[in-house]
Amino acid sequence: MSTKKKIAYSVAALAVVAGIVAFGHLWEVMDSSRSQVADDTTRLADFHSTDSAAIKRGEYAMRLGDCAACHESSFAGGYKISTPFGELQTSNITPDRETGIGNMTERDFFNAVRQGRGDHGFLYPAMPYTAYAKMSDADMHDLWAYMSTMKPVKHKVDENGGMSFPYNIRFAMLGWNFLFFDNSGFTPDTAKTAANANMDMINRGKYIVDGPAHCSVCHTARNVLGGEVSGGYLQGGSLGAWYAPDISQDPHTGIGDWSSDDIAQYLKTGSDGKSVAAGPMAEAVEHSTQYFSDRDAQAVAAYLKMLPSSRKPAPQAFAMDAASKEHGALTYEVNCSACHGVKGEGITGMVPAFAGNNAMQNDPTNMINAMLNGARAPHTEERQTAAGMPSFAWKMNDRQIAEILTYVRNSWGNQGSEVTADQVSHMRKLTGAADKLSTTSK
């Protein structure tokens, strides 16, 4: 046999092997055999659970999954989600037959929640099926029972009408799933559990974090195609107008200096005493984490405390000259000190402290957004007074906001990079914040 033929046969053989491997992976991605545990006959509109215990557990599963934050309190959808590829609207998941999911069977529901395959084709990963794939059959059965108690709402939603071509083609998500979707259930670490009683708590925490709570969807960076970056697990991710910070055990950029009680308190109240949740995290606390049982909040804390540090370099301070420092201090005292304190001490549980708060030193996205658009702490059962911050967009231009934030990020022991006027300008345009008011003299 000639050398050319040998090469041709070798290439062909490799192509066949690659094809077999690719087909096998595609089969794994598309496999919905786990959903066969669900009923495949009765549609949601015709199902009304009478199992009060299952309904109660299902409501708790809904809280763990933070369904209300995106699908609205009525579950009729329409909540807008901005993505780099266009705007999505959340679907109507009430039992309405025409505009909701009333025609779904339990198995259809399992496929939608855990495999991202809905009535209209493949779902976009803004619906975090990539994490919900880890949810147990028991939680899914209970969630189905709870959904049967929902009031049908007739509300038609054009879910991907804001997506531009070719991103509005749902079938393209098959390729995305092939590249990034891990279609496997949760597997507890049983080997360590036998030797360590605390592993039960850690495994429960990992199940919540990686499954229903879908923490990595926000707190892990994504590549240009929207897939989670390998090696960046829970080390911080951009949400466009907001930034989900590093929640690894890094002492500089993460929550390495938080105790388990600090983490549990933050989940239940929206504050660890220094930081206060705002933006999407405030919504998560308000709709989801405040409802966690004390044991589950501690389980999440136990899991996060065992994560390794992201080992990111410590933030570098920006050297402010004496005049800038003095001007920053005066501007801060006039505009910020009434709430945040003269020494950046904040108000415990209500207003973020600047002193000794790692969040003030890292990515400045959230600080810029709060200055331009204001912010609000979550309203929770334990903390009824949800403090709010007003917008300063009307009062300060881009340079002034940049200067005051640079001062805050480099005072009271903080060391952070400079905030630039260009960064503020970008955020002002991105969020549609108002321009500074101006007066013209005659």
Tokens linked to 78: 């329409």
Tokens linked to 110: 């399992």
How many alpha carbons fall within 13 Å on the CB side of residue 47? Answer: 25
How many alpha carbons fall within 13 Å on the CB side of residue 403? Answer: 17
336 is in an annotated binding site: yes
The backbone torsions φ and ψ at residue 356, rounded to the nearest 5 degrees and listed phi first, read 70, 25
48 is in an annotated binding site: no
* Cα 352 → chain centroid: 21
141 is in an annotated binding site: no
379 is in an annotated binding site: no
252 is in an annotated binding site: no
70 is in an annotated binding site: yes
**Integer-rounded Cα radius of gyration of the chain:** 25
339 is in an annotated binding site: yes
How far are the Cα atoms of 238, 245, 305, 316, 414 from residue 248, in angstroms, in the given order?
16, 9, 8, 19, 20
Tell me the binding residues.
Answer: 67, 70-71, 215, 218-219, 336, 339-340
Tell me the binding residues for heme c.
Answer: 67, 70-71, 215, 218-219, 336, 339-340
